[in-house]
Amino acid sequence: MKVLVTGGAGFAGSHIADALLAAGHEVVIVDNLATGSKHNVPQAAVFFNMDINDPKLFDLIKEEGIEAICHQAAQIKVTDSITHPDHDAHVNIIGTIKLLEAARHLKIKRFLFAGSAAIYGQPDYLPVDEEHPKRPMSFYGLSKKVDEEYIRMYGELFGVNYMILRYANIYGPRQGRTGEGGVVSIFMENMIKGLPVTIEGDGGATRDYIYIEDVAKAVVIALESDVIGTVNVSTETQVSVNELFDTMKRAVGYPQDAVRGPARIGDIYLSSLSNRRIGELLPQWRPQTSLEDGLQKTVAWGRTVYSPDKE
């Protein structure tokens, strides 16, 4: 299948492009390089430096003979969404609608969307399942929620064949310091450079960390499925910031203890996503990578970028 991957020069998008190519699909990448890097683009992919709101995108999708869209491009900075909600909405909502219009009129066979745990907000219970109330705490989370409603309605009104994958906190090679799993990159870079690492609050806050290759496998399986619906992509485990620090400290060989800073106001304290539904709808998928193994792979990549002899 010929697949358009938006945001394919970014962290998650480039790994997804790699996995799609390995599975035998053709990949076309559209990315404006606002946060992505051309170095992340697989050699076997066709790359276009283009914004998803570019009016020429529809014609590109038509001319390239795109059969499926894997929509990963987004404005992912929570703080930026609060400072500039208009820009967040333009990228995340209007950009998604433009792609849905292409899917509708060009009879795209499959539309996959990168959802987010940010739509849930403060959990009422753990693990959070797909039916949990949606109370986002930022415009970024709100834009993801609105996107999902548009996608479902395009499915109902126009027959767009879709699947929404709500990612937990993704981490792995090529990740920057922003986004929902960015704490791993921040800790890793500082540790490799021998700089202090700050833990905000008591370090007891938990997140559901999932390795990027497991996410990419879920996307490939979802693409090759005909299931319509919404699933969490998660490990269904809780890892505290203290546990993350200790595990990364061992992986890096970092000799220092963490510096303690004040807790961030408004942060969710405990978080974990249920993966029961994805196990039912896509039974070929299970998370395969332990936190220890995933961090070892991430640190090995980090040493090629952040070691002092690389500067």
DSSP string, 222-268: HHT----EEEEES----EEHHHHHHHHHHHHT--SPPEEEPPPTT--
- C-beta neighbour count of 203 within 10 angstroms: 17
Annotate 217-238 with b (16+ C-beta within 10 A) or e (fewer): bbbbbbbbbeeebbbbbbbbbb
Residue type, 12: A
Q: Give the integer Cα–Cα distance in Å for 63 and 5.
A: 15
The tokens describing 25, both together, are 């699909």
107: left (phi over 0), alpha (psi -120 to 50) or beta: left
Query: Measuring CA to CA, which residue among 77, 94, 84, 83 is closest to residue 34?
Result: 77
Catalytic member of 140, 154, 162, 306: 140
The tokens describing 174, both together, are 């090529």
Strand partners, 68: 3, 110
The tokens describing 188, both together, are 């890793």
Q: Is 140 noted as a catalytic residue in this protein? A: yes
Write out the catalytic residue numbers.
140
